[in-house]
Structure 1
């Protein structure tokens, strides 16, 4: 029977008794939420098993041979009774507020599936160790953690991959994606695989940058003289065989593409509208005027980048009337209702408050015959506040704490101010949102534009 308030902490051991002792002492001292301890020993010969048997509250599984990280974690997760499962390496030391912070991040939204902390050793690609994380012994670590581990959602970051040295996940995620894949023997790549399966199941992964957990890193490999480089190479090959991509492809943290709904130009006179990732030529100045664009609205993009996009059908007034493009504002010639065209549907903008809230400009509204408006399928009304929204309008700029996001495909994409300016999108008009709103939607990779 599950315990809704319980976190099942699952630790693997293979020798390294002294590190295990330190890990357990820190858990008992600094964990104030309900938890159970499950330890899976993978064949220790240094007295680890005899030591662990002294504690009646530890659920102990003793393997005669090394079942690897995935195999051992699976044994522990099968035994777990908690509503949260936490995979923790035995060469870690936890400190002040560690589990409280991780749980707050995990439950900020139903969409969040897994959470991990920062560490002194190896953090996920794209995440730098904070400059103030410096210590030389355990006492200094705890002193630092008492200041560092303060609840601060502004330090959270959506990730594509989290590392398995300290990985907290909801029971529902485990129920949905299943056990770790034991083809990844001993260790490495199984956490990449686990994270990929979670994101493909629709969950967001979150790095809790307000939580620091000490990690020695690869202690079991070093202590037990396991060839880490060979194991990594073999498991990477298995990952490629399974998914058709390198694990490193998961952590490429940047995208470089032109979003749908923007006007672009290269060196020549042609101006294009990006529609479904096709560049569709604007026929002439008359069409540009009809679409409520000015020449200066077009983003200057190097020709090699423009040429990545296949050329679509030329746009003129007649073509637009037959198939109204997404991201345009329209109204009929005999009614005051204003609609946003999104995903080939018309979304009613209910009032001027909604129009102003999202930064829609009245001068951008195109008036069309009523029969054309009536022929477009109706979608969800656009709400007056993002708090009530279940479908994000595209190409709107949002800001949560100090990070900008661009809305596309019902997701938020991190984007820096300089990139927004390249897209001629105004960062100073960004709509401010809370973490609760941000993590209600999927978080994409950061969009970066490097051209000059």
Structure 2
């Protein structure tokens, strides 16, 4: 991680007062949505617009929110467009110079937006994320930046750990968490919107990795605090989530790595695929793994078209990106038992080190 980036201080930075658009995608979030908007209203930074894009909620949460906060902009989608396209709808109508993608089950600290804006102005174009703390236990970390393992797995650093003050430096990370991403409208216009094919999961990883191809970096801003449930209200660890994670991991590999890199990784990726299959079978989710692979095969034409687009915008080679990526995947024990996680990581670390030599 870079250590030469100065930690931002909003008080030190004489910034203007640009409009910031906050986009909240809602799907049956209930009172969580109202609580989220209420916390945004208490932010120190006031020049903002709040856009709620609703994915056909049947709990009336979006309408209740509009009744309580008439000044929000409410978009009612005609169908559930998923995380990606649902947020894209909000981005398209946003008028702000800066964009925030924010989950409806979050509560924001009063200075969260000041610090994100200050970090962007001080350090330039990029994707920025705050420090995430558990909403029920403010001593528990949920993310101090998100990481990419070289075989396409994404994970939140420090998830489930106690906050001991170890991650208080502003620094570069592999990708910014989709729970709260801060960037500029200019960046979105330059690299494009969320990839709608993904629907949900690894969407933030794909967006930031795509940006990294163009030299656009991701950063962690510890001075900005956002509170979030230990696991989000939507999907949680359902069979569908496991399927989308695996399908979208492969989509990212096939569209973001160059073909020459992928060819060299084929033996390792084959072994990883076997390991993932056995893991899914052990969870009773073998059908989800097979379904994920079938969907990749069915969409090879789409994947190849996206690959060509990504290679046209590429300014950074894979070796430079891979130097930033990790060998292991750190997963909380409530998702994968310590023993299983340890064995899988030993396997990944050995395979990753060998792969790095080949590359």
Same fold, TM-score > 0.5, yes or no = yes
Once the two structures are TM-superposed, the CA of residue 65 in structure 1 deviates from its matched residue by 1.7
Alignment of 1:128 onto 2:141: no
1:239 and 2:269 are equivalent in the alignment: no
Select the structure that is richer in strand.
1
5+ residue gaps, structure 1, are 135-147, 250-408, 414-452
Pair 1:58 & 2:65 matched = no
Distance 1:241 1:155 in 2: 33
Cα distance in 1 for residues equivalent to 2:97 and 2:246: 35
**Aligned residue among 170, 178, 181 for 2:184:** 170
In structure 2, the gaps of 5 or more residues are: 1-15, 135-141, 148-155, 263-319, 325-359
Q: Provide the secondary structure at the position in 2 that maps to 1:235.
A: helix
Structure 2 counterpart of 1:67: 81
In structure 2, C-alpha distance between the alignment counterparts of 1:205 and 1:105, rounded to whole Å: 11
Aligned residue number for residue 319 of structure 1: none
**Post-superposition CA distance 1:118-169 (Å, at most 9, x none):** 11254224843697649xxxxxxxxxxxxx9xxxx96201112111100000
Considering only CA atoms, is the larger Rg found in Structure 1 or Structure 2? Answer: 1
Is 1:220 aligned to residue 250 of structure 2?
no
Task: Tell me whether 1:157 sits opposite 2:187 in the alignment.
Answer: no
Query: Given the alignment of the two structures, is residue 183 of structure 1 paired with residue 197 of structure 2, yes or no?
Result: yes
Aligned to 1:210: 223
TM alignment of 1:360-379, pairs within 5 A: none
Q: Deviations over 1:356-399 (max 9, x none)?
A: xxxxxxxxxxxxxxxxxxxxxxxxxxxxxxxxxxxxxxxxxxxx
2:55 equivalent to 1:42 = yes
Superposition deviation, residue 209 in structure 1: 1.6
Shift of 1:221: 1.4
Contact in 1 for aligned 2:50/2:72 (Cα 8 Å): yes
Aligned to 1:76: 90
Q: Distance in 1 between matches of 2:89 and 2:52?
A: 9
1:109 shift after superposition: 2.7
Secondary structure in structure 2 of the residue aligned to 1:209: strand
- Contact map agreement 1:116 1:206 (CA 8 A) in 2: yes
The CA deviation at 1:49 is: 3.0
What is aligned with 2:102? Answer: 88
Is the aligned partner of 1:116 residue 2:129? yes
Q: CA deviation at 1:18?
A: 1.2
Moved more, 68-77 or 124-133: 124-133
Deviation at 1:58, TM superposition (A): 1.1
Matched, 1:193 2:206: yes
Aligned residue for 2:19, secondary structure, equals strand
Higher helix share: 2
Instruction: Say yes or no: does 1:106 pair with 2:100.
Output: no
Deviation, 1:171, is 1.8
Rounded to whole Å, the distance in 1 between the matches of 2:52 and 2:123 is: 30
SS across alignment from 1:5 = coil
How far apart, CA to CA, are the structure 1 residues paired with 2:177 and 2:21? 18
TM-score (norm 1): 0.46
Contact 1:120 1:129 in 2 (8 A): no
The 8 Å contact of residues 118 and 129 in structure 1, kept in 2 or not, is answered as: no
- Deviations for 1:205-243, whole angstroms, at most 9, x for unmatched residues? 1100222211123211149x7721122122222222322
| Aligned residues of 1:23 and 1:94 also touching (Cα < 8 A) | yes
- Give the 3-state SS of the residue equivalent to 2:201 in structure 1: coil
Farther-moved stretch of structure 1 (203-212 vs 122-131): 122-131
Change (3 A) 1:244 1:200: closer
Q: Aligned equivalents of 2:202 and 2:236: distance in 1?
A: 18
Alpha-carbon distance, 1:80 to partner: 0.4
Which of 115-124 and 12-21 deviates more?
Answer: 115-124
User: Alpha carbons of 1:6 and 1:201: their partners in 2 closer, same or farther (altered >3 Å)?
Assistant: same
Contact map agreement 2:176 2:204 (CA 8 A) in 1? yes
Determine helix, strand or coil for the equivalent of 1:240: helix
Higher relative contact order (CA 8 A, sep 6+): 2
Task: Normalising by structure 2, report the TM-score.
Answer: 0.57
